[in-house]
Structure 1
Amino acid sequence: MAHVFAFWESRAFYDSFMARSHDRLAAAQAGTFKDAQARLFDHRFDVKTGFEPRFSDADLLRVALCRVHEERAEHFTLMQEKVWNPAMAGSPGMIRGLFGEAPGSEFLVLSMWKSSAEHGKYRTERVERLALRAQTEADVVALTGDIVELEPTWTV
């Protein structure tokens, strides 16, 4: 499995790419992959510091896709900002991240870590306690995600 993340300077640049170049590039890649899924998220806020799509200082990404109950979306966003973000930001191995939103009460939490060991310290020490405090179970309909070990030669 491969994860590909693209960060666009603006929606106008994204729309221009989709209108002018996407189909040609996609046709050239036909047959090189299967079961591709694409999602477009709008940046809501940063986690820890100003997000930069720079990966040279990270060894690991944690990506979480959260579909939440529509009536709980505002609460979920507030808890991300007031509970989860400060906890991640306070973890020494966490570098930076972002929180994004897509239509249909779907959210992306992307965090960058110095190493899997540093991420493991955060995860085992805090996740259950934070989930209770943030009432995550009441907010979330579905949660999927992955730990992505970065391959520096794939970074463009």
Structure 2
Amino acid sequence: MAHIFSFWESRAFYDSFMARSHDRLAASQAGTFTNAQVRLFDHRFDVKTGFEPRFTDADLIRVALCRVHEERAEHFVLMQEKVWNPAMAGSPGMVRGLFGEAPGSEYLVLSMWRSAAEHGKYRTERVERLALRAQTEADVAALAGDIVDMESAWTV
């Protein structure tokens, strides 16, 4: 499995690429992959510091895709800002991240970490306690995610 993250300067640049170049590029890659899933999220806020799509200082990415109960979406976003972000930002191994939103109460939490060991310390010490404080179980209808080991040769 491969995860490909792309970051666009603006929606206009994304739309231009889709209109002018996507089909040609996709045709040249026919047969090289199966079961592609694409999601487009709008940036809501940064986690820790100003996000920049630079991956040379991170060895691991944690990505969480959250489908939230519509009536709990406002609470979920508030808890990301007030509970989860400060906790991640305070973890020494966390480099930076972002929180994004898509239509239909879907959210992306992407966090970049120096190493799997640093991310492991954060998870072991805090996640269960933070989830209770943030009432995550009441907010989230479905959660999917992955730990992505960075492959520097694939970074552009």
**Pairwise same-fold verdict (TM > 0.5):** yes
1:121 aligned onto 2:98: no
- SS of aligned partner of 2:46: strand
Provide the rounded CA distance (Å) in 1 between the counterparts of 2:105 and 2:126.
25
| Aligned mates of 2:104, 2:29 — CA distance in 1 | 30
Q: Say yes or no: does 1:78 pair with 2:78.
A: yes
State the match for 1:104 in structure 2: 104
Is 1:89 matched up with 2:107? no
Gaps of 5+ in 1: none
Residue 53 of structure 1 aligns with an amino acid whose one-letter code is P
Q: After superposition, what is the alpha-carbon deviation per residue over 1:81-128, rounded to whole angstroms, capped at 9, x for unaligned?
A: 000000000000000000000000000000000000000000000000
Cα offset, 1:14, TM superposition: 0.2
Q: Distance in 2 between matches of 1:145 and 1:30?
A: 26
With normalisation by structure 1, the TM-score equals 1.00
Which residue of structure 2 aligns with residue 19 of structure 1? 19
Cα deviation 1:127-155 (Å, max 9, x = unaligned):
00000000000000000000000000000
Q: In structure 2, the residue corresponding to 1:58 is in which secondary structure?
A: coil
Alignment of 1:124-139 (within 5 A): 124-139=124-139
Query: Residue 30 of structure 1: CA displacement?
Result: 0.5
Amino acid at match of 2:154: W
- Aligned partner of residue 73 in structure 1, secondary structure: helix
Task: Quote the offset at 1:67 in angstroms.
Answer: 0.2
Q: Please give the secondary structure, in 2, of the residue aligned with 1:2.
A: coil
Aligned residues: 156
Tell me by how many angstroms 1:18 deviates. Answer: 0.2
Match of 2:67 in 1: 67
Stretches (4+) displaced over 4 A: none
Matched, 1:141 2:141: yes
Percent identity between the two aligned chains:
88
What's the C-alpha RMSD, in Å, of the aligned pairs?
Answer: 0.2
Q: Which amino acid aligns with 1:52?
A: E
